Amino acid sequence: MTDLLGKDDYGRIAATLALPDFCFIDGRKQAAQSGRSFASTNPANGSVIANLPACDGADVDLAVAAARTAFEDGRWSRLHPAERKAALLRLADLIEQNLNELAVMESLDSGKTILDCVTVDLPETVKCLRWHAELIDKIYDQVSPASDSHIALIVREAVGVVGLVLPWNFPLLMLAWKIGPALAAGCTLVVKPAEETSLTALRVAELALEAGIPAGVLNVVTGSGPEVGEPIGRHPGIDALSFTGSTETGRLFLKFSAESNLKEVTLEMGGKNPCIVMEDAEDLDAVAEHVVNGAYWNMGENCSAISRLIVHRDIRDALVERLVAALADWPVGDPLDPASRIGPLVSAEHFGKVASYLDGGKVLHGGATSADRFVHPTILEVAGNDARPACEEIFGPVLSIITVDSLDEAVAIANDTGYGLTASVFTANGKRALRTARALRAGTVTVNSFGEGDSTTPFGGFKQSGFGGRDNGIHAHDQYTQLKTIWLDLN
Ligand SMILES: NC(=O)C1=CN([C@@H]2O[C@H](COP(=O)(O)OP(=O)(O)OC[C@H]3O[C@@H](n4cnc5c(N)ncnc54)[C@H](OP(=O)(O)O)[C@@H]3O)[C@@H](O)[C@H]2O)C=CC1
Ligand SMILES: CCCCCC/C=C/C(=O)O
């Protein structure tokens, strides 16, 4: 694990950091065709830190053309798997060598704490790329059950040119979750980072070229959802699309696909994730640590954040007391101070949205600071699962508490949502834990802990949290490959 530096060290890196001011198409740093640009701001103080090309459909066309040429001429897709593996490993190494600079860039751009950037986002990004790189030369194709007169090969081929549309909450890590398996599979890419947080994707594109990933393979087009995301979604030259973001925007990509070339679409979307704590849960102090981490890390700007705590009446008061105690270790402050565990929300607009939920219940702890974009970790007692904070995705550090009298009631409430991304259950009874894990309608369920799995486990949602494939694990490769049957008649 990387050692943390001091606040002044990060300040010095921030002061000397060269921030990107380009989009990256066909291996070249470019301005938008239109010449327009937009300002990227630091959420901690609202200052403008970079001006980036405000691209549109014309730039998307260029990026798709570059990606198409790179795919068809095989400069990446037809490399020997060992060569693709070596290049991806070099990219992971370069990111690791530039870890502090990338961590500071990410923090400045998104408001994420330097603590999380250095200890979670960057190491997980490197790990993810290495994991998929290592997989490239270990995946075998299949041969079907054969008669004497035929052999049928079932082979996986790269799907082609892929559009990746990314969110602002984990700019680097979500990039890695998608480019890792997509590049491993041999695809070429047109990436659209979120407008708020485009800087690290641009730096990674530069590093990819340095690592030997050929020009045209990884293109990054900056700009807004309607001006860049939609042209990607509708582009006839894009074969598959992988999106992470809100359910509302995810739906649009299905429409774009249906109205264009029926590109394959994978959607990883919102959540309203329940955490059930039963009366027999062991060690409430430890439970509280998990719940606090699950609800508040990354400011709750996390699709998998615990946002509904469904707790048995017998232990409700004791658990709330421990949650408040655990929050003493969660200082709110300057994101470049490694002591801060909570930074500002990503934008003034998002602050307004999150703060609007706080009068939907009784604030037991925390609240918003109206003068800036900081929302303190908030515990909200709500009237029930129908209360607005309990049923809408807040995407901020706000935990709604719902009290129940039985496990059946807890599971019914947990499943009473249109989302189904993650869930957790705390109980000392193993059979009860497993039965509950099976009953919860979510893509990832953790038992006596909170987490999102790791590089080896598929991540995605049930119901309106997910559609299509999965990120992470070997299963992520399904998004970026398609099956071909090759039938050989031996007669
Ligand atoms: N599941 C998750 O991981 C995430 C969920 N969310 C949820 O979404 C809410 C809104 O956040 P927001 O950033 O607006 O999330 P969006 O889903 O709108 O954004 C995700 C990505 O989609 C792009 N996009 C937005 N609108 C369109 C469009 N009309 N056509 C094509 N692409 C589009 C965005 O571009 P750009 O932003 O540059 O305009 C961004 O790159 C949050 O409060 C949270 O509840 C947000 C982020 C991640
Ligand atoms: C170290 C694991 C981080 C997982 C973050 C998962 C969030 C995804 C999202 O918000 O889309």
Rounded to whole angstroms, the Cα distance separating 236 from 387 reads 43
The C-alpha angle 466, 243, 234, rounded to 5 degrees, equals 115
Residue 23's pLDDT is 98
- Nearest-CA residue for ligand 1 atom 41 is 194
Determine, yes or no, domain membership for 463.
no
Helices (H), 418-473: 430-439
Counting ligand 1 atoms within 8 A of each CB, the residue from 249, 351, 353, 465 with the most, and so the one to mutate, is 249
**Are both 220 and 301 inside the same structural domain?**
no
How much is the pLDDT for 3?
Answer: 86
The alpha carbon of 158 and the centre of ligand 2 are apart by a number of angstroms equal to 25
Round to whole Å and give the CA distance between 425 and 282.
12
Alpha carbons 338 and 3: distance in angstroms, whole number: 11
Q: Examine the domain organization and report whether 373 and 294 are in the same domain.
A: yes
Q: Pocket residues for ligand 2 (CB within 6 Å)?
A: 120, 124, 167, 169-170, 173-174, 244, 268, 302-304, 452
What CATH number is attached to the domain comprising 209?
A: 3.40.605.10
Q: What is the pLDDT of residue 346?
A: 97
Q: Is residue 385 part of a domain?
A: yes
Same domain membership, residue 131 and residue 96: yes
Active-site positions? 268
Are 92 and 239 part of one and the same domain?
yes
pLDDT confidence tier of residue 372, bands split at 50, 70 and 90: confident
Assigned domain for 135 exists: yes
Q: Which of 38, 56, 173, 246 to mutate to test the pocket of ligand 1 (most atoms within 8 A of CB)?
A: 246
DSSP string, 312-355: EGGGHHHHHHHHHHHGGG--B--TTSTT-SB---S-HHHHHHHH
Nearest CA to ligand 1 atom 40: 194
For residue 98, pLDDT beyond 70: yes
Residue 369 has pLDDT above 90, yes or no: no
For residue 203, the model assigns a pLDDT of 98
Do both 113 and 65 map to the same domain?
yes
167: CA distance to ligand 1 center in Å? 6
**At 241, phi and psi to the nearest 5?**
-135, 130
Ligand 2 pocket test, pick from 116, 126, 166, 173 with the greatest ligand atom count within 8 Å of Cβ, gives: 173
Same domain, 233 and 319: no
pLDDT tens-place string over residues 378-421: 999 999 999 999 999 999 999 999 999 999 999 999 999 999 99
Determine the pLDDT at residue 373.
85
CA distance 219 to 27: 7
In a domain, 458, yes or no: no
Measured in Å, how far apart are the chain's first and last C-alpha atoms? Answer: 59
Residue 2: which pLDDT band, with cuts at 50, 70 and 90? confident
One domain, residues 102 and 235? yes
Contact at 8 Å (CB) between 41 and 182?
A: no
Mean per-residue pLDDT, 34-48: 97
Task: Examine residue 85 and state whether it is found in any structural domain, yes or no.
Answer: yes
Cα angle 299-40-101, degrees, rounded to a multiple of 5: 70
Query: pLDDT, tens digit, for every residue of 345-358?
Result: 999 999 999 999 99
pLDDT of residue 84: 98
How much of the chain, in percent, has pLDDT values that exceed 70?
99
Mutate to test the pocket of ligand 2, among 1, 170, 246 (most ligand atoms within 8 A of CB): 170
For residue 18, the CA-to-ligand 1 centroid distance in Å is 27
Q: Are 399 and 291 in contact (CB under 8 A)?
A: yes
Q: Are residues 218 and 306 in the same domain?
A: no
Task: Looking at the CA of residue 165, tell me the nearest atom of ligand 1.
Answer: 41
Q: Can you say how many angstroms the Cα of residue 176 is from the centroid of all Cα atoms in its chain?
A: 9
Domain limit, last residue, from 214, 247, 269: 269
Q: Report the atom number in ligand 1 closest to the C-alpha of 353.
A: 43
The ligand that comes nearest to the alpha carbon of residue 194 is 1
Residues with CB under 6 A from ligand 1: 165-169, 192, 194-195, 224-226, 229-230, 233, 244-246, 249, 252, 269-270, 303, 350, 353, 393, 395
Is a pLDDT exceeding 90 seen at residue 56?
yes
Whether 221 and 365 share a structural domain: no
Q: Is 296 in the same domain as 202?
A: no
Distance 245 CA to ligand 1 centre (A): 5
Q: What is the pLDDT of residues 123-139, one digit of tens each?
A: 999 999 999 999 999 99
Neighbours of 88 (CB within 10 A): 26
The CATH number of whichever domain residue 413 belongs to comes to 3.40.309.10
Give me the mean pLDDT over the 217-242 stretch: 99
pLDDT of residue 388: 98
CA of 412 to the centre of ligand 2 (A): 25
Instruction: Return the ligand 2 atom nearest residue 121 CA.
Output: 1
Domain closes at, from 252, 269, 286? 269
The closest ligand to the CA of 298 turns out to be 2
Do residues 304 and 248 share a domain? Answer: no
In angstroms, rounded to a whole number, what is the distance separating the alpha carbons of residues 403 and 190?
46
Close Cβ partners of 127 (under 8 Å, ≥ 6 residues apart): 454, 455
Ligand nearest the Cα of residue 193 is 1
The ligand placed nearest to the CA atom of residue 346 is 1
Query: What is the tens place of the pLDDT at every residue in 465-488?
Result: 999 999 999 999 999 999 999 999
Give me the domain span that covers residue 55. Answer: 7-269
- Assigned domain for 459 exists: no
Asked, for residue 363, whether it belongs to a domain, the answer is yes
Q: For the chain, give the mean pLDDT.
A: 97
Relative to the CA of 268, which ligand 1 atom is closest? Answer: 1
Calculate how far, in angstroms, residue 88's C-alpha sits from the geometric centre of ligand 1: 28
Q: Are residues 176 and 284 in the same domain?
A: no
Q: What's the pLDDT band for 235 if we cut at 50, 70, 90?
A: very high
Give the list of residues 6+ apart from residue 395 with CB closer than 8 angstroms, or none. 169, 270, 300, 301, 302, 303, 305, 350, 353, 354
Single residue among 237, 269, 301 that ends a domain in this structure = 269
Residue 97 located in a structural domain: yes
pLDDT surpasses 80 at 1: no
* Domain total in the chain: 2
CA of 259 to the centre of ligand 2 (A): 30
